[in-house]
């Protein structure tokens, strides 16, 4: 009986299928975890990762790593992001967005567009940001948003982030729509709040859409409804972005003996890559086109596996 009970408690095996990335156009109102759970249902698997969460009210690009592609997340999660966001001038909230309680209201005239343009110049390049209390950053293992909901506020260390581009797309006071390209880990909510502080009128982020999470753009994304329909029709694998395309590395086709050696942690001859610089990385494919591993050319002029994808 004990053995039978154990079998009943075991999680079902994942359905076999290709590795790759699903790029979801997340709707407002869904958490990133909601999207992951939905994708598990579409694919009949548990092994799914994501490349950076989106706030529930935010929409746009949420790439999911499927099956063996979860091993490639470290190669992509630090890539730059791009957003279109709306900052509403004249008020601040405790969450720095439209979901929170209003904490202050500005009395008097709001800044002109020229003032906002000038203020945004100060946010370009490397800047310091203090993570918001309503965030997943942890203090002693506890997410800040949990402490915030208990009415606590703790001191947070500022962190350096990089803003490549921040420009006005639309100015209809009190709303300022901005186009932002930034490094991973940037809080656009904090950008909106800090802009309001510089302008002296306060501001909060009232809308946010992620347009890209490199190398994926909104043109690669599909809504949950599209994925659900594809799953019902048995063609959801057609919507996967192949892992080698996502990485954007040169590809190298290998015969089975070399693949077996790589899968056992061994190195192989670099072939035509011998004259490349040490540190050069390639995506290794088998003869059917399936990605097998990420290989790196080392100083000993041999190709060594950095990541091996399960068969």
The verdict on whether 55 is a catalytic residue reads: yes
pLDDT per position in the chain (311 positions), as tens?
A: 444 443 444 445 778 889 999 999 999 999 999 999 999 999 999 989 888 888 889 999 999 999 999 999 999 988 899 999 999 999 999 999 998 899 999 999 999 999 999 999 999 999 999 877 665 655 555 555 565 565 666 666 889 999 999 999 999 999 999 999 999 889 999 999 999 999 999 999 999 999 999 999 999 999 999 999 999 999 999 999 999 999 999 999 999 999 999 999 999 999 889 889 999 999 999 999 999 999 999 999 999 999 999 98
pLDDT, residue 12, reads 57
The CA angle 227-229-233, to the nearest 5 degrees, is 115
Cite the DSSP H helix spans in 68-163: 73-76, 113-121, 144-149
CB 96 within 8 A of CB 132: yes
Architecture of the domain whose range is 81-212: 2-Layer Sandwich (3.30)
**C-alpha to C-alpha distance for 48 and 45, rounded to whole angstroms:** 8
**C-alpha to C-alpha distance for 131 and 161, rounded to whole angstroms:** 11
In the set 55, 97, 194, 267, the catalytic residue is: 55
Name 304's bridge partners: 296
pLDDT, residue 274, reads 85
pLDDT, residue 146, reads 64
Helix (H, G, I), strand (E, B) or coil at 145: helix
Helices and strands, number each (H, E), in the chain: 9, 17
Q: Where are the domains of the chain?
A: 2-78+216-242, 81-212, 249-308
Q: Under CATH, what is the fold of the domain 2-78+216-242?
A: Alpha-Beta Plaits (3.30.70)
Domain 249-308 listed as CATH 2.30.130.10: yes
Nearest in space to 26 (alpha carbons), one of 34, 37, 18: 34
Do 81-212 and 249-308 come out as alike in CATH topology?
no
């Amino acid at each position: 009986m004990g053995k039978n009970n154990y079998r009943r408690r075991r999680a079902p095996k994942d359905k076999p299928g290709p590795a790759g990335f699903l790029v979801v156009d997340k709707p407002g109102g869904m958490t990133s975890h909601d999207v992951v759970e939905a994708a598990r249902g579409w694919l009949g698997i548990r092994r799914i990762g994501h490349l950076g969460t989106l706030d529930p009210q935010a929409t746009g690009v949420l790439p999911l790593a499927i099956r063996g592609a979860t091993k490639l997340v470290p190669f992509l999660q630090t890539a730059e992001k791009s957003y279109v966001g709306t900052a509403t001038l004249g008020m601040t909230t405790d969450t720095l967005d439209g979901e929170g309680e209003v904490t202050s209201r500005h009395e008097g005239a709001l800044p002109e567009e020229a003032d906002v343009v000038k203020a945004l110049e100060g946010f370009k390049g490397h800047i310091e940001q203090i993570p918001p209390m309503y965030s997943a950053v942890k203090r002693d293992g506890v997410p800040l948003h949990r402490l915030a909901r208990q009415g606590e506020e703790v001191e947070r260390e500022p962190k350096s982030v990089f803003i490549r581009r921040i420009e006005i797309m639309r100015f209809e006071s009190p709303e300022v729509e901005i186009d932002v390209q930034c490094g991973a880990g940037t809080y656009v909510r904090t950008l909106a709040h800090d802009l309001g502080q510089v302008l002296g009128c306060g501001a909060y982020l009232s809308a946010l859409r992620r347009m890209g999470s490199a190398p994926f753009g909104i043109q690669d994304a599909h809504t949950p409804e599209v994925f659900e329909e594809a799953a019902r029709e048995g063609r959801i694998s057609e919507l996967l972005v192949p892992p080698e395309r996502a990485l954007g590395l040169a590809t190298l086709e290998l015969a089975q003996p070399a693949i077996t050696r790589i899968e056992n942690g061994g190195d192989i001859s670099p072939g035509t890559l011998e004259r490349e610089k040490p540190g050069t990385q390639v995506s290794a494919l088998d003869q059917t086109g399936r990605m097998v591993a990420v290989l790196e050319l080392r100083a000993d002029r041999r190709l060594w596996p950095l990541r091996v994808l399960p068969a």
